[in-house]
Amino acid sequence: MPPRALEAVRIESNEDPADFEAKNVHEIYDAIASHFSSTRYKPWPIIAKFLSDLPTGWVGFDSGTGNGKYLPLPADRPGAIWTIGMDRSRNLLDIARRAGEGKVVREVVWGNVLDNPWRPNAFDYAISIATIHHLATHERRKLAVQRLIQAVSADHGRVLIYVWAIEQDELSKRKVSVEDDPEANEKGKDVMVPWVLSKTLAKPSPETSQPEVYNRYYHMFAKGELAALASDAAKDLGLSVGSRESCSSTPGVEIVQEGWERSNYYVELRRWSK
Amino acid sequence: MVRLITHNLLGCHVKNCNANNFPLEFKNARVELVEAEFNPDFLRNFLPKIEWKALVDTARQLGDTSLPVEQPEMVDDDFLKALHHVLLEVHVEEGAMVCPNCKHEYPISNGIPNMVRSYSFEGYNTDPLTIPTKLLAEHEIA
């Protein structure tokens, strides 16, 4: 099947972005939860490595945990670190509770990534995988990054963020057209991504027949956009951006890696103080 | 399964509720005890990051008095086993968590706490540009 061009979407200025996300993201995940979860089982290598490199005794949270597939990691040292999952979809959380092998129950919290329900700087690390691209404005995406930065230790906190990229690779089922949208290569592009619900996994609904296709809102990130967003988010919190050695004012955040992997952009941040 | 490890990390995040908002107090808690794998290395390294008084007080409210009021100087296996049980084996399945300051209730259903605060109802999102500054004033970065 050739990749399918995604439909562009424009969020009207009079539209409440929270309502827009409720309708075009949260409700959709609640409806497609079990089918969605069945397609998300393989951890991305860079994320698995990030978790596997963390010291024993570290505690973190996964903002937008979905079906919780990262909660049981690292596979070779189960229980060495403790990741708490948070998601806005209650139906996905019921799945995330049982993520991984055996009868182990995971810790999950029902919350919005813009919420700040944590004791400040309580965590050693935070991950947010394929989540921030569901927020409908630049300011809200920035706030979501700030939530991650605020939740981790000012001395050693680590943050890993993944979002979908405009640049989809040859294995992707999707493509983002930018020819008619010159700004997209700089600012990213707002699109609707269809989800075709498998009938067998759909939640039975006796009264109404379930629609087959659900459209989820995504902001597809442009090259460099995620690192710039993270850097702005940190600066707005009054933090220096750069390495501990290179910055004169403390505390700060360093971007330790960024890149593109299989249709996603990622960035890893580390907090430091001196 | 709000375990006490999670409870020790959560705080109230109602708008303008910035003091005395930790720890949340359990209300009508239905507790289940579920065995978990004992990992002493995890506990030893996590220990310095625990808000100890909050953990001990909350455990006592739930009827578990196995932890000392002060962290012991000697961390032995008996202590780690008691800590393991309190942190990781006590699950609050139903009930609520109540903020000691503003009394907001966060309900717990089927082991999942509802920490969702809707920005629509908080009046934050009428102008998205105002979100960060407003919230920053409330939660200064330590």
* CATH number for the domain that contains residue A88: 3.40.50.150
Measure B34 CA to nearest chain A CA, in Å. 9
pLDDT over 90 at A177, yes or no: no
Tell me how far apart the alpha carbons of residues B135 and A181 are, in angstroms, rounded to a whole number: 34
Structural domain of A65: 7-272
pLDDT of residue A143: 95
In chain B, residues with a C-beta closer than 8 Å to the C-beta of A154 are 141-142
Quick one: which of A264, A272, A259, A257 has its CA closest to A53? A257
pLDDT over 90 at A6, yes or no: no
**Disruptive mutation site among A19, A56, A62 for chain B (greatest number of B CBs within 10 Å):** A56
pLDDT of residue B105: 93
Determine, for residues A237 and B118 on separate chains, whether the beta-carbon distance falls below 8 Å: no
| Mean pLDDT of the region A22-42 | 83
Residue B34: which CATH number?
2.20.25.10
For the segment B14-55, what is each residue's pLDDT rounded down to a tens digit? 888 888 999 999 999 999 999 999 999 999 999 999 999 999
Tell me how far apart the alpha carbons of residues A204 and A28 are, in angstroms, rounded to a whole number: 15
- If one counts the domains in chain B, the total is 1
| Mean pLDDT of the region A252-264 | 94
**Is B23 exposed, middle or buried (CB count within 10 Å of its CB: 0-12, 13-18, 19+)?**
buried
| Mean pLDDT of the region A209-223 | 84
**Disruptive mutation site among B5, B6, B97 for chain A (greatest number of A CBs within 10 Å):** B6
The confidence band for A184, taking pLDDT boundaries of 50, 70 and 90, is: confident
Whether B140 maps to a domain, the answer reads no
Tell me how far apart the alpha carbons of residues A128 and A148 are, in angstroms, rounded to a whole number: 8
- If one counts the domains in chain A, the total is 1
| Mean pLDDT of the region A185-208 | 72
Q: Which residue of B has its CA nearest to A15?
A: B126
pLDDT of residue A251: 93
Whether B134 maps to a domain, the answer reads no
Whether A223 maps to a domain, the answer reads yes
Determine, for residues A119 and B129 on separate chains, whether the beta-carbon distance falls below 8 Å: no
Tell me how far apart the alpha carbons of residues A12 and A16 are, in angstroms, rounded to a whole number: 9
Measure A273 CA to nearest chain B CA, in Å. 11
In chain A, residues with a C-beta closer than 8 Å to the C-beta of B118 are 18, 112
Measure A79 CA to nearest chain B CA, in Å. 7
| Mean pLDDT of the region A59-72 | 95
pLDDT of residue B137: 31
In chain B, residues with a C-beta closer than 8 Å to the C-beta of A56 are 41-42, 45
pLDDT of residue B39: 95
Whether A67 maps to a domain, the answer reads yes
- Contact assessment for residue A267 and residue A258, using Cβ atoms and an 8 Å cutoff: yes
Whether A2 maps to a domain, the answer reads no
At B105, the amino acid letter reads E
In chain A, residues with a C-beta closer than 8 Å to the C-beta of B100 are none
pLDDT of residue B120: 39
pLDDT of residue A30: 86
Whether B118 maps to a domain, the answer reads no
Whether B20 maps to a domain, the answer reads yes
At A186, the amino acid letter reads E
pLDDT of residue A199: 62
**pLDDT, mean over chain A:** 89
Tell me how far apart the alpha carbons of residues A21 and A43 are, in angstroms, rounded to a whole number: 26
Tell me how far apart the alpha carbons of residues A40 and A201 are, in angstroms, rounded to a whole number: 14
Determine, for residues B3 and A88 on separate chains, whether the beta-carbon distance falls below 8 Å: no
Whether A1 maps to a domain, the answer reads no
Structural domain of B39: 2-113
Determine, for residues A137 and B128 on separate chains, whether the beta-carbon distance falls below 8 Å: yes
Measure A14 CA to nearest chain B CA, in Å. 9
- From the list A81, A105, A110, which residue is nearest B115 (CB)? A110
pLDDT of residue B119: 46
**Is A53 exposed, middle or buried (CB count within 10 Å of its CB: 0-12, 13-18, 19+)?**
exposed
**Disruptive mutation site among B99, B119, B129 for chain A (greatest number of A CBs within 10 Å):** B119
Tell me how far apart the alpha carbons of residues A83 and A97 are, in angstroms, rounded to a whole number: 12
Q: Which residue of B has its CA nearest to A121?
A: B142
Q: Which regions of chain B are under pLDDT 70? A: 1, 118-142
Q: Where is average pLDDT lowest: A91-95, A179-183, B50-54, B116-120?
A: B116-120
Whether B67 maps to a domain, the answer reads yes
Measure A90 CA to nearest chain B CA, in Å. 9
In chain B, residues with a C-beta closer than 8 Å to the C-beta of A86 are 115
| Mean pLDDT of the region A103-126 | 93
Whether B83 maps to a domain, the answer reads yes
pLDDT of residue A204: 52
In chain A, residues with a C-beta closer than 8 Å to the C-beta of B137 are none
